[in-house]
Amino acid sequence: MLSVRVFVTGAAGFIGSALVRQLIADNAADVVCVDKLTYAGNLDSLAEVQSSPRYVLHRVDIADREAMRALFERYRPDAVLHLAAESHVDRSIDAPGDFIHTNVNGTFVLLEEARRYWLTLSATQREKFRFLHVSTDEVFGSLDDGGFFTEESPYHPNSPYSASKAAADHLVRAWHHTYGLPVVVTNCSNNYGPFQFPEKLIPLMILRAWAGESLPVYGRGENQRDWLYVDDHVRALRLVLARGRVGETYAIGGGAVLRNIDVVRAVCRILQELRPSATRYEDLIEFVEDRPGHDLRYAIDASKIRDELGWQPIETFESGLRRTVEWYLAHDEWLERVRSGAYRGERLGLGVTA
């Protein structure tokens, strides 16, 4: 067995599963995967590592104090990488209670059980232990006047999702400053790549365009996001875990700030090249009523993680998007299993309580 053992919460989710796959492929750690396996938790995303002796999965709600305590006592990890979260803004508008339960209460329970466990360690083990909390740039609100988010940006969350993540960020920092728990926080921009649940913009557009369905774009598609390929994000998280300074925050962005309409058109162009259609995919674009409280612009200044840890994205948006579209086209069986579940690509975020 390897000498490093880590907990990854939200391990069957999009970013969590990419992290687990990379850790196992690189022989970097023994990985204890913790996931509630809600609608977006997909065990297919972990299929390639399930036979590894360094992988184990426990179906556990991080808000279940007794279950989390038992896992800490059984496995005694060297680090916790906390990615478990309800993460879709539209769903948070329809059912905010789920976001409070997991993102706020779950983070609180996880911090408390991590602290309880940490206090049982020797002085040397305590010094090495890390709690890495993975958050979002959405906690900072909207950059309506341009500019970039940095680690010093004030918090101004505008959706139930971002408010719940902001609350979790503050809890993590408080547990460091009050109790000394060795934490590091990251705030990332919009991730994309293979295995992403198709409620998010890029996979939803791929899925609907391929099926010849309309491509709904909020407002006039002028909202801007900073796009980060998921494997680049995972490399950043591993660097922060290994070399990040305790108590610090690191902003992680892909350096690709694009309007939503331009992202959708880019998806259509790649699809038209790879799967030509007599009806142009771009002709399927349909502008729909905007999401309530839709932030105009997110963009991250990632100079801190670049200068301190030497990280920068490998994928350009063009190369990452092409890899993403190619993956979805080659995994229609995965898409079919997703579409056979509860989510069918319908409009979310209309404020209708689930």
**Is 137 part of the annotated catalytic residue set?**
yes
- pTM for the model: 0.93
H helix intervals, the chain: 14-25, 65-75, 89-94, 96-99, 107-118, 123-128, 160-179, 201-210, 230-243, 260-274, 303-309, 317-330, 332-339
How far is residue 226's CA from residue 105's CA, in Å, rounded to a whole number?
Answer: 29
Question: CATH fold of 5-191+227-255+297-315, please?
Answer: Rossmann fold (3.40.50)
Active site residue 161: yes
Whether 332 is catalytic is no
Cα 96 to chain centroid, rounded: 18
- Give the chain's length: 354
| Catalytic-labelled residue, pool 30, 86, 138, 231 | 138
The pLDDT of residue 135 is: 98
DSSP SS3 for 160? helix
**Exposed, middle or buried by CB within 10 Å (0-12, 13-18, 19+), for 303?**
middle
3-state secondary structure of 230: helix
Given 137, 232, 301, 315, which residue is catalytic? 137
Average pLDDT, the chain: 93
Residues of the chain with pLDDT under 50: 1-2, 342-354
Residue 258 sits at φ, ψ, to 5 deg, of -135, 150
Which pLDDT score is estimated for 146?
A: 86
Name the catalytic one among 55, 117, 161, 328.
161
Both tokens of 298, joined, read 């997110």
Query: Rounded to an integer, what distance in angstroms lies between the CA atom of residue 95 and that of residue 76?
Result: 35
Residue-level pLDDT at 343: 41
